Amino acid sequence: MQSDKLDAVDRALVERLRIDGRESNRALGEALGISEVAVANRLRRLEECSVMRVVAVTDMRIFGHRELSFALLRVSGRSPIEVAQAIEKLPDVVAVTAVIGRIDLVVPMLGRNHRHLAQLFGTTLPRVAGVDSVQGLLALDVLKFESKWGVLSADSGTAPDSYPSESVDELDLRILKRLQVDARRSFRGLASELGVSERTVRGRVKRLSVENVIRIQAVSDVNAFGMNANAYIGITATRGLTDEVGQNLIQRDDVAQLTRTLGEFDYIAVVIAPDRESLHRSVFGSIATIPGVRRAELFEAWANSKHNYAWGWLV
**CA dist., res. 181 & res. 104, Å (int):** 30
| DSSP character at residue 93 | B
**Sheet with strand 149-150: strands edge to edge:** 149-150, 214-221, 52-59, 311-312
Residue 32, helix vs strand vs coil: helix
| DSSP character at residue 38 | H
| DSSP character at residue 122 | I
**CA dist., res. 134 & res. 132, Å (int):** 7
pLDDT of residue 259: 98
Residue 103, helix vs strand vs coil: coil
**CA dist., res. 83 & res. 124, Å (int):** 13
pLDDT in single tens digits along all 315 residues of the chain: 555 589 999 999 999 999 999 999 999 999 999 999 999 999 999 999 999 999 999 988 877 778 999 999 999 999 999 999 999 999 899 999 999 999 999 999 999 899 999 999 999 999 999 999 999 999 999 999 998 998 888 777 777 777 788 889 999 999 999 999 899 999 999 999 999 999 999 999 999 999 999 999 999 999 999 999 999 999 999 999 999 999 999 999 999 999 999 999 999 999 999 999 999 999 999 999 999 999 999 999 999 989 888 888 886
